[in-house]
Amino acid sequence: MDKLPQQVLIIGISSVFLLIVAVGIILLVFIYQKRQLIYVREKEQLKVDFEKQILESKLEIQEQTFKNISQEIHDNIGQVLSLAKLTINTMNIEDTDTLPAKIDSSKQLISKAIEDLRNLSRNLNTDYITDLGLAVSIENEIRLLKNAATYQVDTVVTGEVYRLHHQQELIIFRIFQEVLQNIIRHSQASVIVVSFLYTPGIFSLQVSDNGKGFDINTLEQTENITPGIGVRNMRYRANLIAAEFTINSNLGKGTMIEIMLPVNIT
């Protein structure tokens, strides 16, 4: 007769134990799902923020591009075409001595304007950069700079060249263009060195000049108030592709800018 209560007791204890474990696991699932909900919401918020940042960046790039086009047309193409117009205006059909030279000069000026327009179009065309690749696009930019004969431009390529994701290439190219613009406008440099580093884990693009340099700390402070050389903008763009943007500069000792992108090339 003692056996029955003993069995009942064991079964009772076992049932309570099972109940506790079951409740524990259900509770765990409940907590997990609650945390999962928070996680998904946070992730969605991050995605929205990121998309907003991308959009802002795109608008900024677009604004900068319009500014560049306007400047290029005004300073370069406009000037050349004005000169061509002036030359044509001064042409006298009866003056056979100067006429051929003036026609020739006009032809040359119009050809230059066409060439400048072509270069401008190439620089702005995203598909063109995507098709050519980062290395070739940068080489083209360097070639144009060399043609101006104002700078000595050296290129150093270390490692075997490979292609990056087209969006990464485009953003790096735009940063490079901005760096070149800054060198031309502000640096008063005579030598520019562009170094590429291709390793299986890291892609790096380094641009250095021997210009007048600047104080980075002062720049960081003034950039918040007035538009400077767009360091913040460049750093921001680099962040978009998870690249590291480094700038080193000292007064009178030139500037070095580096974009380092982690890659996984097998």
If one asks whether residue 99 binds other proteins (CB under 8 A), the answer comes out as: no
Report d(CA 262, CA 241) in Å as an integer: 10
Interactions with other proteins, residue window 159-188 (CB under 8 A): none
Region from 13-21, 159-167, 194-202, 255-263 binding other proteins, contact rule CB under 8 A: 13-21
Contact at 8 Å (CB) between 257 and 208? Answer: yes
The least CB distance from residue 46 to other proteins, in Å, is 13
Nearest CA to 173 among 140, 202, 211? 140
CB of 218 to other proteins, least distance (A): 44
The 22-51 site mask, x for binding other proteins (CB under 8 A), equals ---x--xx-xxx-xx-xxx--x--------
| Shortest reach from residue 32's CB to other proteins, in Å | 5
**152-158 and 202-209 strand pairing:** unpaired
Closest by alpha carbon to 259, among 185, 183, 196? 196
Shortest Cβ 20–other proteins spacing (Å): 9
Q: Which stretch binds other proteins (CB under 8 A): 8-16, 105-113, 217-225, 250-258?
A: 8-16
Q: Which of 219, 266, 227 is nearest to 247 (CA)?
A: 219
Nearer to other proteins, 9 or 156 (CB): 9
Using the minimum distance from each CB to other proteins, give the nearer residue, 44 or 56: 44
Start-to-end CA span in the chain (Å): 76
* β-bridge partners, 195: 156, 206
Report if residue 11 touches other proteins, rule: CB under 8 A.
yes
Token pair in block for residue 15: 């049932």
H helix runs in the chain, sequence order? 3-72, 78-89, 99-124, 126-132, 134-147, 166-182, 216-223, 231-240
Which of 1, 4, 6, 148 touches other proteins by CB under 8 A? 6
- Considering only 17, 50, 66, 128, the residue that binds other proteins (CB under 8 A) is 17
Compute the least distance from the CB of residue 81 to other proteins, in Å: 58
Which residues, including other chains, have CB under 8 Å from residue 261's CB and lie 6 or more apart?
Answer: 164, 168, 172, 202, 203, 204, 241, 242, 243, 244
User: 3 or 185: whose CB is closer to other proteins?
Assistant: 3
- Residue 25: phi and psi, rounded to 5, are -70, -40
**Interface with other proteins by CB under 8 A: which residues?**
2-3, 6-7, 10-11, 14, 17-18, 21, 25, 28-29, 31-33, 35-36, 38-40, 43
